[in-house]
Structure 1
Amino acid sequence: MNRSIGYLFQSSLSIRLAGSVTQKVACRGFRVNVQPVGMRATTVVNGREDSLEERLKKGILEMEAGYVTTGLDTTAYPVPLEKKNKPIKVPMRYVLHCLFTKNNTFLTLSAVCKDIGNPYSLPVEDKRMTMSTGHVGFKKAQRGEAEAAYRLGLYFFGQIVEKGYNGLPIEVMLRGMGRGRATITDMLRGKEGEDIRPLISRISDSTRVAHGGVRPPKKPRR
């Protein structure tokens, strides 16, 4: 007489022993019956019967079921599955995103990476660092001034060289019409950007332009 019979209900495996409470554990979609024979457990997976020790050695049980039981105990122990190979990301170029708003200036450097282990993968952007004028000590209304953008650009360009992000081409993308826009562009053309200017391969403007736009607010009555 089998003292332990397993039934598969959708995505769970129900294990019940004589005089014990039925316990459901997660399963991977395979029918697995665990039957203890003495202190050894045999498993019946898809009609094949084998000992637990042999199936663990073969590595079959890990692929067919996410959980196994030992002996007469109803406790389920998770079996670690093999981890997939992590993508090997290699940067091909860098992109410097410059966002200029009315009240602040944001600079973000991201790397366009390619997975060399997968020839069918598409390049993706991986953020390296991002800063605003608050990182250089400006607060509240001072963050929208040109001086704040100058200090931010000076510190950010220094971090690019210090962290070694100056070995690949850099694409500059400008967005917004804040006060820091003219400051950052002047710095790229001036002495402050002499270390980065030779690496710039392209400068583009991604400022959003409203074609028609939304309905303007109602004019107040005077």
Structure 2
Amino acid sequence: MTPSTSRLLAKTTSKLSSISICPTSQPVRAFSQTCLRQQDEQPPTSRPSLLGALLANPQPRTAAPRQDLMSDLKQVLATNTISRAMGQPNTGDSILGDSTSKQEDWGPDHEPFHFHIYAHKHNTHITVTKPNRNAIVSMSTGQIGFKKAKRGTYDAAYQLCAYVLDKLNQGGWHRKITALEVVLRGFGLGREAATKVLLGNEGRLLRPNIKRVSDSTRLKFGGTRSQKPKRLG
């Protein structure tokens, strides 16, 4: 830096330091009679200076870098993906500001969840309900691809029960269900098939929570005469 440049820099610095910034200074007066009349007609309004407001309330520049923000977002998304894969509730919803997650009223605490198995000779229906009797999942063998006479077979009922248990585990219901009642109805092939699935490897997560097994098969007392039994041979 040359001596002339240093003297010019020192002179400019001294001039800048002598200027005082006043946020509440009066506005500049008008330079014509028309502007004076307009100024007298309008009520005086105080317009705060932006520079004065910044000087009065300084805000430190502590914004997070873009790379840190992107890394935090990737971490939240990865946590949600892992939670969904393991059948657990998302832990990143609170970070993203999800305030819509509200616990549903499932009914009285002493009432268990219900696993209804309705097996007749033509089909098998499985319905899982909450303690307040609202259905979680309700499916039959026709919804997993079996048609016509194949819907009443043992294999169809077995695959249906395994599919329902898999859906419950994926939704994380094996963690929410603390007491489960198995309700059997009918004497079709699906009755034994569903029992085998619950006692097998597919039902290992829900089996410890089974507290009761009941039978709700309809029994006839009186009424009209039943249909003549079918005779073979």
Residue 157 of structure 2 aligns to which amino acid in structure 1?
A
Q: Aligned match of 2:204 in 186, 194, 204? A: 194
Q: Does 1:150 align with 2:169?
A: no
Corresponding residue of 1:89: 105
Alpha-carbon distance in 1 for matches of 2:127, 2:106: 19
Corresponding residue of 1:100: 119
Going from structure 1 to structure 2, the CA distance change for 1:216 and 1:207 (only over 3 Å counts) comes to closer
Q: Deviations over 1:129-151 (max 9, x none)?
A: 10000121101100000000011
Alignment of 1:33-48 (within 5 A): none
Alpha-carbon distance in 2 for matches of 1:201, 1:218: 39
Corresponding residue of 1:215: 225
Instruction: Please identify which structure carries the higher helix content.
Output: 2
Q: Does 1:164 align with 2:172?
A: yes
Q: Aligned match of 1:126 in 124, 134, 146? A: 134
Corresponding residue of 1:173: 183
User: What is the alpha-carbon root mean square deviation over aligned residues?
Assistant: 2.1
Aligned residues: 122
Corresponding residue of 1:139: 147
Alpha-carbon distance in 1 for matches of 2:227, 2:216: 26
Instruction: Please identify which structure carries the higher strand content.
Output: 1
Going from structure 1 to structure 2, the CA distance change for 1:196 and 1:217 (only over 3 Å counts) comes to closer
Alpha-carbon distance in 1 for matches of 2:191, 2:228: 31
Tell me the percent identity. Answer: 40
Q: Aligned match of 2:128 in 83, 86, 109? A: 109
Going from structure 1 to structure 2, the CA distance change for 1:137 and 1:218 (only over 3 Å counts) comes to closer
Going from structure 1 to structure 2, the CA distance change for 1:209 and 1:90 (only over 3 Å counts) comes to closer
Relative to the length of structure 2, the TM-score reads 0.49
Q: Which of structures 1 and 2 has the larger relative contact order (alpha carbons within 8 angstroms, sep 6+)?
A: 2
Relative to the length of structure 1, the TM-score reads 0.51
8 Å CA contact 2:106–2:130 kept in 1: the answer is: no
Residue 143 of structure 1 aligns to which amino acid in structure 2?
R
Alpha-carbon distance in 2 for matches of 1:206, 1:216: 20
Give structure 1 stretches of 5+ with no counterpart.
1-87, 113-123
| TM-fit CA distance, 1:216 | 3.1
Alpha-carbon distance in 2 for matches of 1:158, 1:203: 21
| TM-fit CA distance, 1:90 | 3.3
Secondary structure at the aligned position of 1:171 is classed as: strand
Structure number with greater Rg is 2
